[in-house]
Structure 1
Amino acid sequence: MAVTPLEAPDLAATSAAVLSVRQLVKHYRARGAQRRLGSAVRAVDGVSFDIGPDETLGLVGETGCGKSTVARLVTRLIEPTSGMVSYAGTDITRWSERRLRPLRREVQIVFQDPYSSLNPRRRVGSIVGDPLRVHGLGTKAEREARVADVLRRVGLDSAHVGRYPHQFSGGQRQRIGLARALVTNPRLIVADEPVSALDVSIQAQVLNLIADLRSELGLSLLFISHDVSVIRHVSDRVAVMYLGKLVEVAQTECLFSEPAHPYTASLLASVPRARTTGAPRHRVGVVGEPPSPLSPPSGCRFRTRCPFAQRVCAEVEPQLTRQGAGGSVACHFPLSRES
């Protein structure tokens, strides 16, 4: 069965970017005593980025920085507090669930946990094929043929359609999740930590599979991970997130060879590596834990852990500004190529 792109005329591509996010904010009401004080958890606090056709943007940062919240915001699984999400040039930020239904064919998500993201009571054929049925695509025979084809693309046998998720390994379950995301022929896939729950050897297989499928199908991809090595392997550009904000966005090789933000340099310094000519010049040591998103520091949110922080860092919040041809950085004292 040929699954055609989304046909709704109001979603026709009017922008070079497949996905545009502008000043996206998501605050959660705090609980207990903090709620009585009127505090809010600032999970995402003014994030902006674009993803172009056939491009993979890697989103990296420590656990709890807001990466998964971004994934759910851009796929409209949760409502933003403010800001804009635009798909193919159309603002979808305030669309109703009914209006979003046809968009679900175009924008799919792969979840982090391959164990809890699959319904244990449904067979694989139903799990992968349900999106086709929900969107009314094809006859029953055509849907079955499409499911078999997608399972083959992700490295599974079509005979697996009658099995349940518990009969598969973790890597196979993640392949099933990927097949479910691919079955409607989407244009954009959001992969939220898709290999973090897998063994290292299985991680490599799934990453190579994602890279092959992206090239073969012409997908755009938002790939989220806390592992900078994984991000480097799959991404064209990288956005670094800290405590709800982006602190650096750059081309992958530029960011890994010459990080501009001290936080980026500290992330790269934490990765064990052999001595090579491609290793980054700056190795920044960072101490302490990230501050609470209930009460982030004034000015630069990284200043409480930054070895280069000065008075202005506490008084003025740095904005993402272009630094040469290498990308953008939000820092009053970015690391220079000459230092």
Structure 2
Amino acid sequence: MKILLIGEYSRLHNSLKEGLQKLGNEVIILGFKDGFKDFPVDFPLEKKWDSGFRKKIKLGLLVLTGFDISSYLTYRQFRKNSNHFQDFDVVQLINENSFFCDYRHEKKILKYLFKHNQKVFLLSAGDDYMYVDYNFEHTDNPSIVQPYLAGKIANKEFSNVLKFRTKPFEKLHQYIYENIQGVIATDLDYHIPLQNHPKYLGLIPSPMNVDKFPKKELVINERIIIFHGINRESYFKKGNDFFEKALEIIKKKYDDKIDVFVTENVPYNDYISRYNQAHILLDQLYGHDQGSNGLEAMAKGKVVFTNASNIFEKHYNLTQKVAINGLPDVDYLVNELSFLIENPTEIIAIGNRARTFIEKEHDYLKIAQKYLDTWTK
């Protein structure tokens, strides 16, 4: 089968590509490289006029004329190689705004893809119209909308979410759903809003290339190591304010038993070195299911504070913890961390179960086959 994967988030499409290729398919990725993560892309797109003095000119032009030069330049990059993006059996979009263009230019690109390929599918793998709308309508559902509504995130920092509540992106959503064969959710957070939608094809968990993470059991010597990596851009979205407050209490309480590594904007090699030494990793709050960082840490057999709600446990028929469900509650986080520090054998046990869970539910070859089965139904 000839497959075109469009867009990249946290290595999702690269891992899927590796699985599909091993199963004998021809696969190409088109899109941006997910920012500083710089993931491999066969046909890379570059977002132009998006920083420095040119960005100021772009914004001024946008205000005066409504013309978005970055979107136009992305469209030109696509058209330059458009003959490479036709005659595929399957095209899969990673998002409703895979090209990060305004409505006009995004629709022009999509129109070409719909016209020149057999089947087009959509992933719900991040913020999109239905996910954002659902969480504003159901504010009790754990999501990044909660810290925004609590006043912790400014509109400017939340613009990539709020854009899906505007009329142009509602129109883009409708246009996409009129032309795709179906939509696939990559975890439970995106599955919940899509239930009962006629175009919904079901949940396929994110693929993890377990070959890249050799099985290695945690070893605890004298001290337990806790790792907290902070990205300021997503500080409140991930619940880092709660993690930091909990860590301050834990450090005072167990100073003789633990080492806490907190990193922020450190070189990648330093980050990975500290990350790999850790027994416990603080990842994120506000959700039901794990993101890419959590899945990778679980594949390495670590105990991860992440999204692992009752809905998650029920969906996967879990009777024992494979991760610690993170909640925006300092006392709760302190109690959960205290229990692990005082019961280090439980750290080993959860870490082993986490690895087994990834092998069972997220192995990239099993996931690739699920995609093939879904696309060909």
Normalised TM-score (structure 1)? 0.34
* Larger RCO, structure (CA 8 Å, separation 6 or more): 1
Which of the pair is proportionally richer in helix? 2
Which of the pair is proportionally richer in strand? 1
